Amino acid sequence: MSIEIRQLQKHFGAFTALHGIDMAIEDGELIALLGPSGCGKTTLLRLIAGLETPDAGSIHLHGHDVTRLDARHRGVGFVFQHYALFRQMTVFENIAFGLRVRPPSSRPAEAALRAQVERFLDLVQLGALAQRYPDQLSGGQRQRVALARALIIEPKVLLLDEPFGALDAQVRRRLRRWLRHLHDELHVTTVLVTHDQDEALDVADRIVLIHQGQIEQVGSPQQLQDHPKNLFVSRFLGEINHLPARLCDGQLLLGNARWLAPEGSLLADGAVAVGVRPYDWQCGDQPGPDRLPATVTDARWLGGRYRVELDPDIVGGSPITAEWLPAQLPNHEPVSGDRLHLKPNRLALFAPA
């Protein structure tokens, strides 16, 4: 086990930032701490780094209790959102910094140091920019320098606090894929803090979804999207339609439609909420007992698929969003006023809000 956290608590005055967090991260995993602003994810990261001290609980890195250990002795690399590069140093010297400040007994000789820095310059694809200064680099290039500086000290754990938050959307997308490839090459246990669900889905082996200082659910991106444990998880991780229904003897009743409830549901008969992702709808132009009638209110072509808004025939039902490829539609492209009949390929079931 690379990181093990047991009953971790942190208070700031009367505010409780973390409520008894339990979490385990395997060696070589890339974990995303995901959640809304103020949920406690950065506090958790800073506790792992040793930049904050917990009020209760423990932190173990590679089997060693580091709860009270100084940050300098934890073997952790930390990358901040705003890079924190030394403006007066070249790219080469920024990356070399962590090696140069080691005690003489563990500091590499100059030739070995230069070879190591050059290796990391190539790794982050900045070899041609070694003698430039941070002000002469783009935001994405500065972030890669910060990552190389954190990695060159060979940390046991790499901690990333919103590392791409200051970059524009296109650069963020490019850098997060680069980060995933870099992680696969180096296999450093990595914890990434983000509030961007697409970023978490794109790079993480597992996602830890945090809300109000507590872990709501942990799992692979697919597990959290396909099997959310509650309404918060379903809403936060990807777009989803929520529809009011009644559960009765294993069937879901929505207006005149009848759907089978998912196997293993532990909810009692009565009012429930049904969740269906936009891409999980079947549609047809013929009614049926397992079809929910709905009227198209808007349809847009998004290059390869239609995004369709519909008004379902159920009391208190919110508008439905669906996405279909042309081959999934009956006979013609949808237009406002069309009547379609919907059935989910899969659905999730929750207690009502």
pLDDT digits (tens, 9 = 90+) for 228-272: 988 899 989 889 999 999 999 999 999 999 999 988 788 899 999
How far apart are the C-alpha atoms of 243 and 231, rounded to whole Å? 12
Residue 150 has what pLDDT?
92
Q: What domains can be seen in the chain, in order of their start residue?
A: 3-226 (3.40.50.300), 240-350 (2.40.50.140)
Q: What sign has the CA pseudo-torsion 119, 123, 166, 240?
A: negative
Integer distance in angstroms from the first to the last C-alpha of the chain?
37
Closest of 227, 222, 226, 225 to residue 238, by C-alpha? 225
Residue 43 has what pLDDT?
96
280 forms beta bridges with none
Pick out the chain residues at pLDDT < 50.
none
Can you give the pTM of this predicted structure? Answer: 0.85
Residue 1 has what pLDDT?
59
How crowded is the C-beta side of 171, counted as CA atoms within 13 Å?
13
How far apart are the C-alpha atoms of 59 and 66, rounded to whole Å? 6
Alpha carbon 295 to chain centroid distance? 34
